[in-house]
Structure 1
Amino acid sequence: EYSPDTSRSALAIRRYSVMPLSNNSGVIGWVPECDTLQKLIKDYRESRNIPLDLEKRLIWGIPVADSDRNQRLDFDKLSLMQKVQVFGEAIDKTQGEDLARMLWLRSQSSEVWLGRRTNYTRSLAVMCMAGYMLGLGDRHPSNLMIERNTGRVVHIDFGDCFEVAMDRSKYPEKVPFRLTRMLVNAMEVSGIEGTFRSTCRNVMKVLRENRDSLMAMLEAFVHDPLIGWKLISNSGEDQQSEEHGTEAKTSTIAPGAAVGKASDVPSAESPNGEIQEDQAVRITNKIQMKLNGKDFASRDGKPIEVGEQVDLLIKSAQSHENLSQMFVGWCAFW
């Protein structure tokens, strides 16, 4: 259905080509004229002789109650309260303005910068809401890109969708989308208040009003047997987390052509096929709850309003308790 609020702002999601080559492989198109968040921060810090892993070094050097000051801090072994304490102290000691300053430095004039900042804020809001509905995870700095000419946010790598990142055994993700401090600092002076929050509400309203059309498309995709391996397999999740952590620290280029492979696709007649069907039902029910406003439903089961739903999602995405539990390669401190 037509929405004047979203149409007036020309909201859209940047797409790129994907060419299937067989049942288990394909080629992903190159996304031109974009830089990853990782590269922008790396370029800014290198030009000013700031260590790329500054926050991580601070985390290692912060003393924690009941710990040996001479022993290197093992963040993963800390309790949740200790993680929140260390995480908070580390970000308090750094400004987190790297992305905001890069957007300013790469703009030819203040008018260009203002337009890019507006595009950035709106496109980030669109992808936050759309990504939440899809259960899109693994939003580390190498999977978020920014168009050089427009400032719009582009997401890549949709492998961890339908909340599989939240269900893995090691480093399960706790946030609905990426809304870390650097992303917020690059917005307008009021941060998430203003353009970002209003755009989130408009997008969420459109998604909820068109829930039937969305569910028709998503159900066909979720029940596709070719993605069953992704929904039921947890064996490679831990390794995937470690690989992504390394990638987020070292990647400096935009993604080019890539080949993806799925193996051991279960048949509908096998036990794994039954598990896949159960997972598909669970996933579609979860998405249906989001679209009906029942993901944060009260005890009486009544759906919440769009504004309240957006407010709760933003709070969850910015919670230090949630961010401190992310694996290090996700760079929650950025």
Structure 2
Amino acid sequence: MYKWYTAFPQIVSRVGHDNPEVYTVLSSLIVYVIQEYPQQGLWLFAAVVNSQKDARSKRGRSILDKLRGAGDGNMNKLISASLSMAAELLNLCNGQLGDKSSVNMSKDFPRLFKLAPSPLIIPLQQSLTATLPPLSSTQVKDHKPFPIELPTFYKFSDEIEIMKSLAKPRKICIQGSDGHFYLFLGKPKDDLRKDAALMDFNSVINKLLKSNSESRRRQLRIRTYGVVTLNEECGFIQWVHNTVPLGELSVAKLSAELMIFRLENAQMGSIFGRIKQSPDKDAANLFVHEILPMFPPVLHEWFIEMFPEPSAWLAGRLTYSRTVAVMSMIGAILGLGDRHCENILLDMNSGDVVHVDFNCLFDKGRQLETPERVPFRLTQNMTDGLGVIGVEGVFRTACEITIQLLRDNRDCLMSVLDSFVHDPLVEWEEEHMKEQRRRQASSSSRKFDANVLPDTVNLRNLAKNALGIIGKKLKGIYTVNRTAAKEKELSTSGFVQILIQQATDEAFLAKMYPGWAPWH
């Protein structure tokens, strides 16, 4: 049954299937998986039960009714606890908190505060990810994919910290039954299904990296964290401890005061204004000779400060180089954008790079007002952390191993992303509505044109188009110029070379949005 659990997110995404016979089979599978792994299954199923789409929510509750009818008293208690917890966490996400920097859970969200202790497990990444048995194992049928003792909710900390960003995410602290404290960030008005799907995708890649001798020898991996979607617009993500955003590195060479002075200097705005109006060659020249000298690379100093012992320094820098390489290749394939300095974290204990906030997927960055032209972040500071030979050696080798692994397992990886076809994202639905309104306005002002697409836009087609571009990249097809008519498959090394060239192209970096900090 654990094999079905590994595909559970893809099965759940199809819960809205139109064919009654297919739905009957799917609902039976969902029931069986939740019966076998109720703690994990109920968390992964919460987004269906609380869906803002009536049809999905109705089917979700119908499946829970089947579980109640077939289950014992313990199952019914878990279902009730799951529904109550999800409902109160949604209230916390959607609560109007004004300009407060913190609130008390016992006062402002008393029902949530009283739900602990609870028999539900805390939705940590390690608690929700099934482990697979070794290939040589003879006890496959008896394999236990989860540890026996997983931390459950023991107590909520009273203080809820309200973050300063526009959406005002809420940071909560949960004490587990194991005595440890776990932090989560509640994100309102944010479709975390992308984050959850990407964590599933990255978990699959981690398994593939472990199974490959070359990647295993280099300990290539992606840092993942728990993501729980409560509906299409709210969810919680596990807080990543012992990390610092790339933009907040405390280094001696550029003090915080000097950074602020230079960033707020009117000269910066003037230079970027000239860059915006200049052709690529002139823009690159301005960027290299007027912007970059103001912010010399300093990441090498951070490694010396954090890892003063030589062997620890070498291990930290190798870990950094390899995690940058793996996630850069994943991001390039998936069209991951918005890789500004706050969305890339550095682990202060290991040198790991951790990426957060995956809202800008499927080349969405190319459609911004200031289009993103680089496939991933490889600025002068990122390159500075790679060592004296920069992108050559460790970084390039890790990139090529990762790309080859992705290409060798293309079908497996595309099946994970296929959930977007059957459970389209909110932004695609908004695009669908805009297109319909545009066509309605257009048809009211002129006669019908046979060459115009139908009034209804198929949401699945939007998803298939996005995944089609990913499929091409996994075949080695990367179109530098989207208007180019001819496409050809590149070798792994050629594909990586084009990506690195684009990521470090000075003209491309110069034309990036200044808030992305292309100099850092």
The TM-score with structure 1 as length reference comes to 0.78
Instruction: State the Cα deviation string for residues 91-133 of structure 1 (Å, max 9, x = none).
Output: 4524632221112112131211111000000000000001111
Where relative contact order (Cα < 8 A, 6+ residues apart) is larger, the structure is 1
Aligned mate of 2:259, from 51, 56, 59: 51
Q: Identify the residue that residue 492 of structure 2 maps to in structure 1.
A: 306
Instruction: State the Cα deviation string for residues 37-95 of structure 1 (Å, max 9, x = none).
Output: 01105786326x53246367464466xxxxxxxxxx73465223443222111245246
Equivalent position SS for 1:293: coil
Q: Identify the residue that residue 324 of structure 1 maps to in structure 2.
A: 510
- Give the whole-Å Cα distance in 2 for the aligned partners of 1:202 and 1:35: 28
* Bigger Rg over Cα: 2
Q: Taking structure 1 as reference, are residues 222 and 88 closer, same or farther at Cα in structure 2, changes over 3 Å only?
A: farther
Q: Taking structure 1 as reference, are residues 225 and 324 closer, same or farther at Cα in structure 2, changes over 3 Å only?
A: same
| Number of positions where the alignment pairs a residue of Structure 1 with one of Structure 2 | 287
Q: Taking structure 1 as reference, are residues 95 and 74 closer, same or farther at Cα in structure 2, changes over 3 Å only?
A: closer
Equivalent position SS for 1:27: strand
Q: Taking structure 1 as reference, are residues 29 and 92 closer, same or farther at Cα in structure 2, changes over 3 Å only?
A: closer
Q: Identify the residue that residue 105 of structure 1 maps to in structure 2.
A: 305
Letter matched to residue 25 of structure 1: C
Letter matched to residue 293 of structure 2: K
**Superposed, which structure 2 residues align to 1:36-47 within 5 Å?**
36-40=245-249, 45-46=254-255
**Superposed, which structure 2 residues align to 1:149-298 within 5 Å?**
149-168=349-368, 170-229=369-428, 232=431, 274=458, 276-296=459-479
- Give the whole-Å Cα distance in 2 for the aligned partners of 1:88 and 1:9: 34
- Give the whole-Å Cα distance in 2 for the aligned partners of 1:324 and 1:179: 13
- Give the whole-Å Cα distance in 1 for the aligned partners of 2:433 and 2:396: 35
Give 1:211 shift.
0.3
- Give the whole-Å Cα distance in 1 for the aligned partners of 2:261 and 2:355: 23
Q: Identify the residue that residue 139 of structure 1 maps to in structure 2.
A: 339
1:130 and 2:316 aligned: no
Aligned mate of 2:231, from 22, 33, 40: 22
- Give the whole-Å Cα distance in 2 for the aligned partners of 1:89 and 1:281: 43
Q: Identify the residue that residue 117 of structure 1 maps to in structure 2.
A: 317
Letter matched to residue 333 of structure 2: M
CA contact (8 A) 2:268 2:291 kept: no
Q: Taking structure 1 as reference, are residues 286 and 144 closer, same or farther at Cα in structure 2, changes over 3 Å only?
A: same
Any stretches of 5+ residues in structure 2 without a counterpart? 1-207, 435-453
Instruction: State the Cα deviation string for residues 116-160 of structure 1 (Å, max 9, x = none).
Output: 000000000000001111111000000000101100100000010
Letter matched to residue 304 of structure 1: L
Equivalent position SS for 1:117: helix
- Give the whole-Å Cα distance in 2 for the aligned partners of 1:272 and 1:135: 26
Equivalent position SS for 2:418: helix
CA contact (8 A) 2:479 2:487 kept: no
Instruction: State the Cα deviation string for residues 177-235 of structure 1 (Å, max 9, x = none).
Output: 00001010111210101000010000000000000001111122244224444783899
- Give the whole-Å Cα distance in 2 for the aligned partners of 1:41 and 1:131: 27
- Give the whole-Å Cα distance in 1 for the aligned partners of 2:430 and 2:215: 33
Q: Taking structure 1 as reference, are residues 118 and 230 closer, same or farther at Cα in structure 2, changes over 3 Å only?
A: farther
Give 1:301 shift.
4.4
What is the Cα-based RMSD across aligned positions, in Å?
2.8
Q: Taking structure 1 as reference, are residues 110 and 302 closer, same or farther at Cα in structure 2, changes over 3 Å only?
A: same
The TM-score with structure 2 as length reference comes to 0.51
- Give the whole-Å Cα distance in 2 for the aligned partners of 1:186 and 1:150: 14
Letter matched to residue 350 of structure 2: T
Any stretches of 5+ residues in structure 1 without a counterpart? 63-72, 236-269
- Give the whole-Å Cα distance in 2 for the aligned partners of 1:97 and 1:127: 21
Equivalent position SS for 1:28: strand
Q: Taking structure 1 as reference, are residues 37 and 222 closer, same or farther at Cα in structure 2, changes over 3 Å only?
A: farther
- Give the whole-Å Cα distance in 1 for the aligned partners of 2:518 and 2:412: 34
Q: Taking structure 1 as reference, are residues 308 and 53 closer, same or farther at Cα in structure 2, changes over 3 Å only?
A: farther
Give 1:295 shift.
1.6
- Give the whole-Å Cα distance in 1 for the aligned partners of 2:478 and 2:430: 21
- Give the whole-Å Cα distance in 2 for the aligned partners of 1:152 and 1:25: 28
Letter matched to residue 308 of structure 1: G
Stretch of structure 1 that moved more, 8-17 or 290-299: 290-299
CA contact (8 A) 1:232 1:272 kept: no
Letter matched to residue 259 of structure 2: P
Aligned mate of 1:8, from 217, 232, 238: 217
Q: Identify the residue that residue 35 of structure 1 maps to in structure 2.
A: 244
